[in-house]
Structure 1
């Protein structure tokens, strides 16, 4: 058997599928594309069963939120001094 030859006796085929889906999501593949690859009927299944945020991702997300809340992000509206309101 292939699993035995590779030393993966305890691993099931479904474990490999789960790992592949989790890695695709971690690599930034859009969830709807991963859903199509694995054949889930709904992207909710893909995201609730397979998407696991790791500690680094959570820390990065909270850092982004902190940066946004402290006003360090540039305003999405460009404002030029001396320009009159033309509404």
Structure 2
């Protein structure tokens, strides 16, 4: 890997901030024309150098999971209510 490997495209950094490591890897693959393994290594090395970004990425992933969990709980509650009223 060369010296340019320590910099990522803005789109890849934005993807990491949103919690999407896969999207960042895809962006690096397209931008640099490297394979999956090399792109993954580049992104992981970048994250190792910036623990704050890694922490933001983790926080973003937690928020995504919380949001999905909230929708799941709401759907489960609606299903229970529907069952209660329909079987009565």
TM-score (norm 1): 0.47
TM-score (norm 2): 0.47
Q: Relative contact order: is structure 1 or structure 2 higher (C-alpha 8 Å, sep ≥ 6)?
A: 2
